[in-house]
Amino acid sequence: MTQAQLLTLINSAIAFGTVIMLGAIGEILIEKAGNLNLGIPGIMYLGGIGGMIAAFYYELGGGASPVVGLILSFLCSLLFSALGGLIYAFLTITLRANQNVTGLTLTIFGGGVANFFGASLNTLAGGVGQISVPVTSSAYIAYTKLGYMGTIGKVLFAHGFMAYLAILLAVAMRYFLNRTRPGLNLRAVGENPGTADAAGINVTRYKYLAIIAGSAVAGLGGLFYTMDYIKGTWANDGTIEGLGWLAVALVIFATWKPVGAIWGSYLFGFVYWAYLYIPGLSRRTLELFKMLPYVITLVVLIIVSLRKKRENQPPASLGLSYFREER
Amino acid sequence: MDKEHAGHEPLLRMSKRGELLPAWKSWGIRLIAFFLSLVASGLVIVLISGLNPAAVFATMLDGAVGTSKRMWVTIRDAMTLLCIAVGLAPAFKMRFWNIGAEGQILVGAIASAACMIYFKNLPTPVLLLVMIVSSLIAGGIWGFFPGVFKARWNTNETLFTLMMNYIAIQLTSYFVALWENPFGSNSVGVINSQTKAGWLPNLLSDGYNKDFGWNVIIVLTVTIIMYLYMNHSKHGYEIAVIGDSENTARYAGIRVNRAYVRTIVFSGAICGLAGFVAVSGASHTISTSTAGGRGFTAIIVAWLAQFNSVVMVIFSFLLVFLQKGAQAIASAYNLSQEVSEMITGIILFFLLGSEFFVNYTIHFRGKKVKA
C-alpha cells in the first residue's frame, strides 16, 4: 500500500466514522435514559432529509450564500430528527408502547419519509432529475488551508466542520454524563427509574429530554452523510439505514461510553473501507470481507457479556418502560 | 410532588385498568385507531400532493385487489409475511427479542437456492422436500447462536440477532456473486427458468396466476401447527410461563435455558422456511432484498396480534394490502414508491398507541373515580 492510498483510507475512515459516531452518541444519550431506540436509522434518515429539504428550497428560491444554507439546513435537520424522537418518546413514555416495536416502526417511517421526499422533491417543485444542493453542501465540505499542509494536515484538518463537531459532542457528552448533576440524574433514570423517582427526579421529563436531544444529535449523522459524505445529493439506496444499524452496533462496541465511540467509529470506518486496499480480493471474497465490522461487533458483544465487568454493562433498565403505579 | 402541584390533582391521571376489557371494546379501540390513522395518512397525502384522498384510497384498493393477478400477489406476499410473523411469535412470547428474522429468512433462502442449483436433477417432490428441510436447518442454525449465548451468558439477543442480519446479508452477496447468471449482471436471475425445478407447483392453474400455489397451503399449515404448539403443548405452556416470569418458570422446574435455545432454534427455522417460500414460491431467485425488511415488519405483525396466530393472518393482510395500495398510488400519481412506508409507519404508530387505551384508563381532574 502506498502512502497516498493509506491517506485516502484514513480520510474515508474518518468521514465514514463521523456518520456513525454522531448516530451512536445520540443513541448513547437515549440508552442512558433507559430507552433502547431501534429507530436510530429512521432518525438519521429524518435528519438527512430535513437538512436536504431546507437546502433544496433555499437554493430553489435563488439563495446563493453557503453560510445561510448551512444554518437553515442544520436547524431544519435538528427539527426533523427531534420531531422523530418526540414521536418515539410520546409512544414509549406516555403511552408505554413497546420500545423495540416502536423503534422499528420509526425506522420504517423515517426511511419512508426521507426516501419519499428524496425521490420526489424535484417533481413536487416542478423540476426534473437528480436532487442536488451544491451551494449548501460546499459550506459543509469546506476546510481551512491547514488541510493542504503536508500529510499531517491532510489527515487532521482536511474534513468538514461536522467531523470536529462530532468529536466535540462526544467529549461534551462524556462530561455531561459523568460530571454534571443532570447527567448523573439521567443515568440514575436509566439504571433504576423507581429509585430515581423516589429521590425526586422527574423520570418522565428526563426521558423525554434525553430522547429528543439524543435524536437531534443522531440526526446530525444523517445530515453529515447527505451534505458532506455524498456531497449534497440524495441516493435511495438504503445506505443510511445500514449506517444507522452500525451506529446502534457501535454503542455496544463502545460499551456505552461516548469517547469510546470516537475511536470505535474510526475503526469501523477503517475496517469498512479496508477491502479496497487488500490485494487479491475477488468480488466474492470481498463480500465476505465486508462482514468484518459486524463480526467484530458480535465478538465485542460476546466478550462484554462473558466478562461481566460492571462498568461495561448496558443500563440496567434498558428497554423497560416505567410506570410508577406498577412497582 | 413538587411545589406547584402540591395540594391539587394533575389535570390528567392514568391508571391501569382493573379488569381486562371485553374483546369487542378492545378491538373497537383498535379499529378507531385504525380509522384515525387512515384520516391522518389521508391528510398527509393531501398536504403533500394536493390529491383528493377518496380518489387516492380508491386507487389503493384497485392496486391491492383490483385484478385477480394483483389479488394473488397480495395473498402471496401476505402469506410470506404471515410465515415470518408466525415464526417470530414463540420467541417474542418468551421475551426473546429476535430482531434477526431478516437474516434467518436470507439463510433459508440461500439454502433453498443452493438446492435448486445443485440438485436440480432430483425429482420434484424430493427436491422440494430437501429444500424445505435445508431451509429449516439453515434458519435454525442462525437462531441457535444468539439463543445459546443468551441462555448461557445472557448476551443481549436484540443486538446479537441484529448483527447476524448483516452477516447473512453479506453471505447472500457472496452467493449472489458465486451464482451470478448471466456473468457480470451481479444478480442470480431466475433459477431453473426452463425446467422449473424446485419451483412450488401451482394449485389453481389457469396459466396466468403463476405465483399462487402451495405457498398458501404450506403457510397455513405452519400457522395451524404453531397455534396448536403455542396453545396446546407443554412447550407452548413453558414459553408462556417464561415470558411472564422467568423466576416463576425456574421455580416451577422448567429448564429455562433449554427452553430458550429450543424455542429460538424453532423460531429461526420457521423464518428460514419463509425464505424457502419466498424463493421457491414467489421470486425464484435470490438477492439481498429477498427478505426486504419483512423480517422487521413481521415483528410488528406478531406484536400487534399479541402473538395470536389467527389475528396475525388479519394483520399480515392489512400490512401487505397497505403496501400494495400505496405502491399503486405512487405509480398512478407519479409519486415515489416510498410513500407506502410512510403510510405504513403512520398507521403503525396509531395502532401501537391504541394499545395504551386498551390497557389503561385516563381520569380527568375533579371526576370522582368509581369505587
Residue A191 parent element (H or E): helix A181-191
Name the range with the highest mean pLDDT among A131-135, B7-11, B276-280: B276-280
B345 CB neighbour count, 10 Å cutoff? 24
Q: Do the Cβ atoms of B260 and B94 come closer than 8 Å?
A: yes
Residues in chain A: 327
Tell whether the model's pLDDT for residue B327 goes beyond 60: yes
Please tell me the predicted confidence (pLDDT) of residue B81. 92
The 3-state DSSP composition of chain A as helix, strand, coil percent (nearest 5) reads 75, 0, 20
Across all residues in chain B, what is the average pLDDT?
A: 83
Cross-chain Cβ contact A98/B164 below 8 Å: no
* More confidently predicted of A74 and B200: A74
How does pLDDT run across A235-260, given as a tens digit for each residue?
Answer: 777 788 888 988 988 888 888 899 99
Question: For cell 433462502, what's the residue?
Answer: B109
How does pLDDT run across A26-36, given as a tens digit for each residue?
Answer: 999 999 998 88
CA gap A226, A223 in Å, rounded? 5
* More confidently predicted of A290 and A82: A82
Please tell me the predicted confidence (pLDDT) of residue B206. 56
The domains located in chain B, with CATH, are 10-51+338-371 (no CATH), 69-332 (1.10.3470)
Is the CB of B48 inside 8 Å of chain A's CB atoms? yes
Tell whether the model's pLDDT for residue A273 goes beyond 80: yes
Cross-chain Cβ contact A98/B171 below 8 Å: no
Is the CB of A239 inside 8 Å of chain B's CB atoms? no
Q: Which amino acid is at B313?
A: V
B87 CB neighbour count, 10 Å cutoff? 30
CA gap B89, B309 in Å, rounded? 8
Please tell me the predicted confidence (pLDDT) of residue A185. 92
Tell whether the model's pLDDT for residue B368 goes beyond 60: no
CA gap B228, B213 in Å, rounded? 24
Q: Which amino acid is at B170?
A: Q
Q: Which amino acid is at B344?
A: T
Q: Do the Cβ atoms of A167 and A262 come closer than 8 Å?
A: yes
Mean pLDDT of B285-306: 85
Tell whether the model's pLDDT for residue B138 goes beyond 70: yes
Helix (H/G/I), strand (E/B), else coil: A202? coil
Provide the β-strand partners of residue A233: A132
Please tell me the predicted confidence (pLDDT) of residue B204. 64
Tell whether the model's pLDDT for residue A7 goes beyond 90: no
At B281, list the grid cell.
414460491
Please tell me the predicted confidence (pLDDT) of residue B158. 84
Is the CB of A231 inside 8 Å of chain B's CB atoms? no
Residue of B45, B170, B315, B322 to mutate for A, most A C-beta atoms under 10 A = B170
CA gap B299, B311 in Å, rounded? 14
Tell whether the model's pLDDT for residue B307 goes beyond 90: no
Cross-chain Cβ contact A116/B336 below 8 Å: yes
B10 CB neighbour count, 10 Å cutoff? 11
The domains located in chain A, with CATH, are 3-321 (1.10.3470)
Residues 6+ apart with CB under 8 A from B215: B76, B79, B80, B200, B277, B281, B282
Please tell me the predicted confidence (pLDDT) of residue B203. 67
CA gap B52, B329 in Å, rounded? 12
In 3D space, the residue among B88, B86, B83, B112 whose CA is nearest the CA of residue B99 turns out to be B88
How near does any CA of chain A get to the CA of B109, in Å? 18
Residues 6+ apart with CB under 8 A from A192: A316, A317
Q: What's the DSSP call for residue B208?
A: S
Residue A170 parent element (H or E): helix A161-179
Across all residues in chain A, what is the average pLDDT?
A: 86
Backbone angles phi, psi at B121, to 5 degrees: -90, -5
Q: Do the Cβ atoms of B267 and B88 come closer than 8 Å?
A: yes
How does pLDDT run across A96-113, given as a tens digit for each residue?
Answer: 888 888 998 999 899 989
**Half-sphere exposure of residue B228: CA atoms within 13 angstroms, side-chain side:** 5
Please tell me the predicted confidence (pLDDT) of residue B83. 92
* More confidently predicted of B121 and B15: B121
pLDDT bucket at B30, cuts 50 / 70 / 90:
confident
| B 156-185 residues inside an 8 A Cβ radius of A | 156, 158-160, 162-167, 170-171, 173-174, 177-178
Q: In degrees, to the nearest 5, what angle opens at C-alpha B37 toward C-alphas B34 and B39?
A: 115
Tell whether the model's pLDDT for residue A129 goes beyond 70: no
Please tell me the predicted confidence (pLDDT) of residue B212. 59
How near does any CA of chain A get to the CA of B358, in Å? 11
A278 CB neighbour count, 10 Å cutoff? 11
Question: For cell 404471515, what's the residue?
Answer: B82
Tell whether the model's pLDDT for residue A173 goes beyond 50: yes
Please tell me the predicted confidence (pLDDT) of residue B9. 62
How does pLDDT run across B182-233, given as a tens digit for each residue?
Answer: 777 777 778 877 777 778 777 665 555 555 567 888 888 999 999 999 889 9
Helix (H/G/I), strand (E/B), else coil: A128? coil
Nearest CB among A202, A252, A306 relative to B153 is that of A306
Please tell me the predicted confidence (pLDDT) of residue A8. 85
Q: What's the DSSP call for residue B9?
A: -
* Long-range contacts at B134-137 (CB < 8 A, ≥ 24 apart): B135/B108, B135/B109, B135/B111, B135/B272, B135/B273, B135/B275, B135/B276, B136/B108, B136/B269, B136/B270, B136/B272, B136/B273, B136/B276, B137/B111, B137/B269, B137/B272
Burial B266-296 (b: 16+ CB within 10 A, else e): bbbbbbbbbbbbbbbbbbbbbbbebbbbbbb
ipTM of the modeled complex: 0.87
* More confidently predicted of A310 and B114: B114
* More confidently predicted of B45 and B229: B229
Alpha-carbon torsion (A271, A275, A281, A283), positive or negative = positive
Please tell me the predicted confidence (pLDDT) of residue B366. 64
In 3D space, the residue among B312, B306, B315 whose CA is nearest the CA of residue B355 turns out to be B306
CA gap B316, B310 in Å, rounded? 10
Percent share of chain A, pLDDT over 70? 97
How does pLDDT run across A204-237, given as a tens digit for each residue?
Answer: 999 999 999 999 999 999 999 999 888 888 877 7
Instruction: Enter the pTM of the model.
Output: 0.88
Cross-chain Cβ contact A249/B159 below 8 Å: yes
Which chain A residues touch B178 with a CB distance below 8 Å? 284
In 3D space, the residue among A17, A48, A26 whose CA is nearest the CA of residue A248 turns out to be A26
Residues in chain B: 371
Mean pLDDT of B278-294: 84
Is the CB of B327 inside 8 Å of chain A's CB atoms? no
Q: Where are the alpha helices (DSSP H) in chain B?
A: 23-49, 53-65, 68-93, 101-118, 124-153, 157-179, 214-232, 234-244, 246-251, 256-278, 294-304, 309-332, 339-359
Mean pLDDT of B57-76: 79
Tell whether the model's pLDDT for residue A5 goes beyond 60: yes
**Half-sphere exposure of residue B80: CA atoms within 13 angstroms, side-chain side:** 33
